[in-house]
């Protein structure tokens, strides 16, 4: 059971780390807009689309 | 004679921009078809700036979203150049100015993409960033550029009317701060609850006593931020209630948290291994979470208290002198008493005042519901909300905002609506009885056992009683039910003002519909036309004549005649008249190459549902047009279904008798169930004869009837104003939403009732166990999450999305 003396502070420390991250994320305003980032990622960059088109043409 | 009929509405062709079904067609040079000029112009802006990908993104990702139609009014937004105005609105960093706008009509990914690529249309923009949750965009200009008027013009042309936001708006800031602090409280409570469970779990699993005690101390440490920080809102609200000498749900919550914590600490101190730390943390976490959810949903309906915000879509044209009517556009917030403002035809008067110059026809529909325009002359007082229909007038402003006639009316109405309704009162009553019973019971348990000389047992049992009978169902399930139902309503196209609005709907037994704009589309369309004779001048066509005659008029009939001409011919010539004048109440008349052309209403219309207009050449009729206000495709079906639910349906209209009779016949209103030629006051009197009535009408125009009805729905107009005057607002332009609203409301009431029953049953059971001494911390730890789970489960089950709420049974 000696190992518990190491594990508990470790577990609490990890938990506290994530809590700290959460507090930081909240304070820096990352929860203010939950909708647009989720959609924004679906838009392809125009350069990528052009590259794909060029690749397709080349392969033909 | 050459008679043609416009194509049937139900052809499958759709507008190339907004994907709406085509009724009237406009074509561009590539043969793409559009439903209106607004859509055509947006399409052209996008195409000429290489932004046609908008349509690919839109189709690919969400084909059902509504795309805003372009605005044709060509506002200039001069005030966005004004330095004194900009001071409060822009922030500068590295010589780059940024400004936030609230935008109407951004729902989808294609809109985000388009607005974030705005710099391709307007080169002075450096970049822009959309926040979809708040419907706002922050636009940053390139270095040393400060002219935001062009940005606003571009946004407006794309159909997103921009409302500038002050960068230090206190209300907005405060609400953001509140959101953050609540989120932090929830996060901390969640963290503590989950970690405490780990240690408590091993205690219940039978850890030895020294380990258990150490775990107890760790749990105590983890629980203290919950008690001293996360649970603060409970204490605040409990103290508030006690100060007002009333009882609320937060009193037992606060007691449970504080007493539970104190006694758990005491138990740990004396070496007793069981404690309530996990129950306290879990309870706080769950209740905070459900309240936060409700707050978020309610915020979506955007409540702004400042009346001038409603009219910020209106751009006010200020003039310096009557003799010098060159207007500068100002923001409604800049308007002051004593200013002179220019109101052009088609615009709404933005303040109460006196006509300083000019005479015109004003439509007072929003004030008294009469659709007939009334002539006004210099020196006569005019009211905010009247719509100018014929000539330019200059108005001397006498009162603005809340002080105007309509402002006072809306303010009064907003107060009226804060009255509580049946279910809220019932819930509050139950909470009061419940809280006082629990407090009394635990006090008597404590006294009883102390009299027997068993003070510790008494203390334990009364504490167990308070903790176990914490009203989870009321604290957790009711907000959750509303959160789910608000979302469901929003999905099916309805925005609700508040919880009461949803509760009220299920009690409605009679519905009053307005005609124009509610049961009908509210826009005139040319359904028939006869061309009797080609014009004498060979180089112009009938279409050219109609378009040019009406080109300066903003009357709805003029608009539909213009649309007709545009849909008939691609390249219209706008005739430069030698003279042009519009006689109030008659129509436009103009001179071209010694011929007089005029458009006038024809008397003796054979069909009462329509208006007939004639085109005259030197007083001889050369063409005639029949315009119809088309009944919404879904009206008849919706009315039929509403009647089938046993509710009474009425039609109340301010229009002419024969018109209303004809439409009533078509929609199945029996004699006595419809009334015509009603003034706004008569409408409201009729409605108030029915105690459980709902008025479904046209936004602000029916404010008076809304105020007298038990419940109300606004179909048209701006969301903010609609929700200020009515209980609900339809965001989808379809009446089927109303049917759904009834189903959703019934479902809500049912769920709340079931949850009340579950929670009463649970609490009686729990209280009995606690008094009998069976509830130890371990049973509390099992019972509490179980009760929460049961109400949450029943809520989720009964509020699930059914097929019925989206269509037919």
pLDDT (tens digit, 9 = 90+) per residue, B661-718? 888 888 888 888 888 877 777 888 888 888 888 988 876 667 777 878 888 888 866 5
- Which of the 8 DSSP states describes residue B14? B
Q: Looking at residue B627, what is its pLDDT?
A: 78
Residues comprising chain B, all counted: 809
Contact of B124 with B145, CB cutoff 8 Å:
yes
Q: How confident is the model at residue B808 (pLDDT cuts 50, 70, 90)?
A: very low
CB A15 to CB B195 under 8 A? yes
Q: Does A48 touch chain B (CB under 8 A)?
A: no
For residues B133-142, give the mean pLDDT: 83
Q: Does A56 touch chain B (CB under 8 A)?
A: no
Contacts A–B by Cβ distance under 8 A: 59
More confident residue, B809 or B223: B223
> Positive or negative, the Cα torsion across B354, B356, B362, B366?
negative
Of B130, B191, B198, the CB nearest to A36: B130
Q: Looking at residue A14, what is its pLDDT?
A: 94
CB A35 to CB B132 under 8 A? yes
Best of B183, B224, B297 to disrupt the A interface (most A CBs within 10 Å) is: B183
Q: Looking at residue B183, what is its pLDDT?
A: 92
Of B109, B180, B187, the CB nearest to A43: B109
Q: Looking at residue B583, what is its pLDDT?
A: 67
pLDDT surpasses 60 at B9: no
CB A36 to CB B187 under 8 A? no
More confident residue, B586 or B98: B98
Q: Does A22 touch chain B (CB under 8 A)?
A: yes
**What pLDDT digit, counting tens, does each position of B438-479 carry?**
888 888 988 998 898 887 788 778 877 877 776 666 667 777
Q: Does A3 touch chain B (CB under 8 A)?
A: no
- Which of the 8 DSSP states describes residue B404? S
Nearest chain B residue to A24 by CA distance is: B184
Of B108, B134, B187, the CB nearest to A26: B187
For residues B90-111, give the mean pLDDT: 79
> Positive or negative, the Cα torsion across B35, B41, B45, B48?
positive
Q: Looking at residue B306, what is its pLDDT?
A: 38
- Which of the 8 DSSP states describes residue B346? T
Report the percentage of chain B scoring pLDDT > 70. Answer: 80
Q: Looking at residue A20, what is its pLDDT?
A: 95
**What pLDDT digit, counting tens, does each position of B598-625 carry?**
888 776 544 445 677 888 888 888 888 8
Residues comprising chain A, all counted: 60
Strands B33-34 and B579-583: unpaired
When the pLDDT of each residue in chain B is averaged and rounded to a whole number, the result is: 77
Least confidently predicted of B159-168, B241-250, B251-260: B159-168
Best of A35, A37, A41, A46 to disrupt the B interface (most B CBs within 10 Å) is: A35
Q: Within 10 Å of residue B9's Cβ, how many Cβ atoms?
A: 12
CA B466, CA B215: separation in Å to the nearest integer? 25
CA B296, CA B264: separation in Å to the nearest integer? 34
pLDDT surpasses 60 at B779: yes
pLDDT surpasses 70 at B369: no
Nearest chain A residue to B180 by CA distance is: A26
Which residues on A lie below 8 Å from B196 (Cβ)? none
CA B771, CA B461: separation in Å to the nearest integer? 6
pLDDT surpasses 90 at B382: no
CB A32 to CB B134 under 8 A? yes
Which residues on A lie below 8 Å from B218 (Cβ)? 8, 12
CA B421, CA B692: separation in Å to the nearest integer? 12
As beta bridge partners, residue B526 has: B627
pLDDT surpasses 90 at B111: no
> Positive or negative, the Cα torsion across B711, B713, B717, B723?
positive
Q: How confident is the model at residue B190 (pLDDT cuts 50, 70, 90)?
A: very high
B722, burial (CB in 10 Å: exposed 0-12, middle 13-18, buried 19+): buried
For residues B247-270, give the mean pLDDT: 85
Q: How confident is the model at residue B105 (pLDDT cuts 50, 70, 90)?
A: low
Query: Does the model's pTM come out above 0.90?
Result: no
CA B357, CA A44: separation in Å to the nearest integer? 56
B735, burial (CB in 10 Å: exposed 0-12, middle 13-18, buried 19+): buried
Q: Looking at residue B409, what is its pLDDT?
A: 67
Of A8, A36, A42, the CB nearest to B131: A36
Q: Looking at residue B515, what is its pLDDT?
A: 79
For residues B641-652, give the mean pLDDT: 87
Strands B360-363 and B374-376: antiparallel
Q: How confident is the model at residue B221 (pLDDT cuts 50, 70, 90)?
A: very high
């Amino acid at each position: 059971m000696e190992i518990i003396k190491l594990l508990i502070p470790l577990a609490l420390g990890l938990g506290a780390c994530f809590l700290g991250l959460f507090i930081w994320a909240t304070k820096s305003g990352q929860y203010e807009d939950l909708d647009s980032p989720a959609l924004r990622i679906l838009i392809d960059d125009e350069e990528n689309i052009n590259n794909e088109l060029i690749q397709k043409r080349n392969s033909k | 004679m050459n008679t043609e009929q416009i194509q049937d509405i139900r052809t499958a062709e759709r507008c190339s921009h907004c994907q709406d079904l085509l009724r009237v067609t406009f074509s561009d040079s590539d043969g793409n078809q559009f439903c209106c000029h607004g859509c055509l112009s947006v399409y052209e802006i996008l195409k000429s700036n290489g932004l046609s990908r908008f349509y690919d993104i839109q189709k690919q990702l969400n084909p059902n979203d509504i795309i805003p139609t372009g605005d044709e009014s060509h506002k200039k937004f001069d005030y966005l150049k004004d330095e004194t105005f900009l001071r409060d609105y822009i922030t500068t960093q590295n010589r780059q100015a940024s400004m936030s706008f609230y935008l109407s009509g951004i729902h989808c990914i294609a809109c985000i993409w388009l607005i974030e690529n705005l710099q391709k249309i307007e080169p002075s923009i450096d970049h822009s960033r959309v926040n979809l949750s708040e419907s706002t965009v922050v636009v940053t200009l390139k270095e040393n550029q400060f002219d935001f008027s062009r940005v606003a013009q571009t946004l407006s042309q794309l159909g997103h009317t921009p409302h500038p936001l002050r960068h230090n708006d206190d209300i907005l800031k405060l609400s953001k701060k509140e959101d953050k602090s609540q989120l932090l409280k929830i996060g901390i409570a969640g963290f503590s609850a989950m970690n405490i469970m780990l240690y408590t779990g091993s205690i219940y699993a039978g850890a030895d006593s020294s380990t258990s005690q150490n775990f107890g101390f760790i749990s105590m440490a983890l629980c203290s931020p919950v008690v001293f920080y996360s649970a603060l809102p409970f204490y605040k609200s409990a103290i508030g209630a006690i100060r007002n000498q009333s009882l609320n749900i937060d009193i037992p919550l606060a007691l449970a948290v504080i007493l539970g914590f104190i006694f758990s600490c005491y138990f740990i101190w004396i070496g007793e291994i069981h404690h309530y730390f996990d129950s306290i943390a879990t309870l706080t976490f769950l209740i905070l979470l459900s309240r936060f959810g409700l707050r978020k949903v309610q915020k979506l309906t955007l409540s702004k208290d400042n009346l001038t915000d409603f009219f910020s879509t209106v751009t006010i044209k200020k003039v310096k002198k009557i003799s010098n009517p060159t207007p500068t556009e100002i923001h409604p917030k800049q308007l002051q008493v004593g200013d002179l403002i220019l109101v052009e035809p088609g615009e709404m008067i933005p303040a109460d005042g006196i006509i300083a110059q000019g005479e015109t026809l004003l439509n007072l529909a929003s004030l008294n519901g009469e659709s007939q325009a009334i002539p006004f002359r210099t020196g006569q007082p005019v009211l905010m909300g009247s719509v100018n229909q014929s000539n330019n007038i200059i108005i001397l402003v006498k009162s603005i905002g809340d002080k105007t006639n309509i402002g006072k009316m809306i303010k009064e109405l907003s107060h009226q609506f804060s009255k509580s309704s049946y279910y809220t009162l019932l819930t509050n009553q139950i909470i009061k009885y419940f809280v006082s019973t629990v407090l009394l019971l635990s006090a008597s348990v404590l006294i009883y056992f102390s009299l027997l000389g068993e003070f510790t047992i008494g203390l334990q049992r009364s504490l167990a009683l308070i903790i176990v009978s914490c009203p989870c169902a009321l604290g957790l399930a009711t907000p959750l039910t509303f959160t789910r139902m608000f979302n469901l309503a929003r999905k099916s196209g309805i925005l609700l003002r508040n919880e009461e609005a949803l509760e009220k709907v299920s009690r409605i037994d009679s519905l009053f519909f307005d005609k124009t704009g509610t049961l009908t589309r509210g826009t005139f369309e040319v359904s028939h036309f006869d061309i009797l004779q080609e014009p004498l001048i060979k180089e112009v066509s009938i279409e050219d004549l109609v378009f040019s005659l009406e080109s300066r008029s903003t009357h709805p009939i003029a608009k539909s005649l213009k649309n007709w001409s545009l849909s008939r011919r691609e390249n219209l010539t706008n005739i430069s008249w030698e003279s042009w004048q519009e006689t109030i109440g008659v129509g436009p008349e103009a001179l071209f190459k010694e011929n007089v052309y005029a458009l006038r209403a024809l008397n003796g219309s054979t069909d009462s549902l329509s208006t007939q207009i004639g085109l005259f050449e030197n007083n001889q009729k050369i063409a005639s047009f029949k315009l119809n206000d088309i009944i919404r495709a879904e009206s008849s079906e919706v009315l039929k279904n509403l009647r089938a639910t046993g509710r009474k349906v009425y039609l109340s209209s301010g229009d002419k008798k024969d018109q209303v009779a004809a439409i009533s016949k078509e929609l199945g209103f029996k004699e006595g169930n419809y009334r015509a030629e009603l003034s706004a006051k008569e409408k409201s009197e009729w409605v108030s004869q029915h105690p459980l009535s709902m008025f479904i009408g046209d936004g602000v125009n029916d404010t008076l009837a809304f105020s007298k009805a038990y419940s109300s729905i606004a179909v048209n107009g701006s969301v903010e104003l609609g929700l200020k005057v009515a209980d609900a607002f339809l965001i989808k332009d379809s009446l089927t939403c109303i049917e759904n609203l009834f189903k959703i409301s019934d479902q809500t009431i049912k769920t709340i009732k079931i949850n009340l029953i579950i929670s009463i049953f649970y609490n009686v059971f729990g209280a009995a166990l606690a008094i009998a001494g069976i509830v130890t911390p371990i049973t509390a730890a099992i019972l509490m999450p179980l009760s929460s789970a049961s109400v949450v489960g029943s809520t989720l089950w009964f509020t699930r999305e059914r097929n019925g709420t989206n269509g037919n049974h």
